[in-house]
């Protein structure tokens, strides 16, 4: 399965109701995504549950990273100034561990993985998280 939103990949997105989200972007991440989109075209994220760089969100040209039944589509993120949404995928195992948290994609100085598009910019994406409130959990159907 590719980035088509079928099957298990859509499980997280279908549970989202009005006023609740599983993931957001910081202002710095939004700005960086606009820059990366201008350089590389449509984008996607994938976050595995691996160690080291594998636990950071990796940004790729859309479709460059093959997703499958072991991945969950958390959101199709709307980015101001980017015409198409940016899919955010996570390995199903990682999603099971993090399903109770709201995630924010942010940017910090430093080099992350050489495979993620932001590496040449001297910054790296990272995830900031917090537990969902009772209201958010109810709205998400958790």
Residues in the chain where the model's pLDDT stays below 50: 1-18
Residue 19 has a pLDDT of: 57
Q: What is the pLDDT of residues 115-132, one digit of tens each?
A: 899 999 999 999 999 999
Contacts of 43 (CB under 8 A, 6+ apart): 33, 36, 37, 59, 60, 61, 62, 82, 86, 117
Residue 52 has a pLDDT of: 55
Residue 37 has a pLDDT of: 98
């Amino acid at each position: 399965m590719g980035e088509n939103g079928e099957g298990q990949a859509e499980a997280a997105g279908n549970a989202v109701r009005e006023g609740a989200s599983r993931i957001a972007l910081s202002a710095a991440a939004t700005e960086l995504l606009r820059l990366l989109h201008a350089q590389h075209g449509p984008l996607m994220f994938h976050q595995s549950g691996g160690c080291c760089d594998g636990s950071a969100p990796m940004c790729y040209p859309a479709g460059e990273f093959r997703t499958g039944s072991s991945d969950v589509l958390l959101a199709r993120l709307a980015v101001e100034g980017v015409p198409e949404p940016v899919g955010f995928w996570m390995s199903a195992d990682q999603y099971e561990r993090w399903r109770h948290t709201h995630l924010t994609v942010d940017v910090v100085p430093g080099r992350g993985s050489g495979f993620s598009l932001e590496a040449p910019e001297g910054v790296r994406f990272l995830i900031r998280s917090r537990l969902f409130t009772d209201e958010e959990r109810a709205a998400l159907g958790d």
